[in-house]
Amino acid sequence: MLTQPGQYLSHQKITVVGPRRSAEVSILGPCRKADQIELALTDARALGFSDVPIRESGDIKGSVGCKLIGPCGEVDIDEGVIIAKRHIHFTPEDAEKFGISDKQVIKVKVDGERALVFDEVVARVNADFATFMHVDYDELNAAAISGADATGVIV
């Protein structure tokens, strides 16, 4: 199970084939409306993808496509490779406490030895969410933190 209620990490993995090389990636569930591959910028570049858009999850229209290889075969998708835009899921109660509304763009200051301010963080408010910030490994590494160790404030 993941931080968001009902979301999980599958035991199976698939291979994403890029222009330069391939990589095995985890599968998150439940199933989405369309195939979507969320990569960190470093991973996208290593696989040989160029012009991968930074988008909110689910916004794949016009994005880069790739080949996916799994245990039951392979498929070429025309679009779906994105770099996920940093965001925070909020319960309605926590959003109200912080004075945040759905789709509001905020800044989050992360404390620590390499403290920094994440700008352009999209707030996503829904009763089905648990309050939790989602950034990729490139962003975590920039702040020299692990996901579980992160502490910060909304600015």
* pLDDT the model gives residue 79: 98
**CATH code matching the domain that covers 87-154, chosen among 2.60.40, 3.10.450, 3.90.1720, 2.40.40:** 2.40.40
Residue-range domain boundaries for the chain? 8-84, 87-154
Confidence of residue 146 (pLDDT cuts 50, 70, 90): confident
Summarize the confidence of residues 4-19 as an average pLDDT.
Answer: 96
Q: What is the mean pLDDT of residues 85-113?
A: 95
Higher pLDDT, 131 or 146: 131
Beta-sheet pairing, 37-38 with 73-84: parallel
**Mean pLDDT, rounded, of the chain:** 93
The pLDDT assigned to 148 comes to 58
Is the predicted pLDDT of residue 147 greater than 60, yes or no? no
Closest by CA position to 116, among listed 148, 152, 69: 152
Query: How far, CA to CA in Å, does 128 sit from each of 48, 90, 108?
Result: 36, 9, 22
d(C-alpha 58, C-alpha 103), whole Å: 14
Q: What is the mean pLDDT of residues 35-48?
A: 97
| Prediction pTM value | 0.90
Q: DSSP assignment of the chain, as one string?
A: --SSTT-EEEEEEEEEE-SS-EEEEEEEES--SS--EE--HHHHHHHT--SPPEE-TT--TT-EEEEEEETTEEEEEEEEEEEEPPEEEE-HHHHHHHT--TT-EEEEEE-STT-EEEEEEEEEE-TT---EEE--HHHHHHTT--GGG--EEE-
Q: What is the pLDDT of residue 154?
A: 67
> Which amino acid makes up residue 125?
V
The answer on pLDDT for 150 being more than 70 is: no
Question: Whose structure tokens read 């988008």?
Answer: 55
pLDDT tens digits, 105-142: 999 998 888 999 999 999 999 999 999 999 999 999 99
Residue 153, pLDDT score: 65
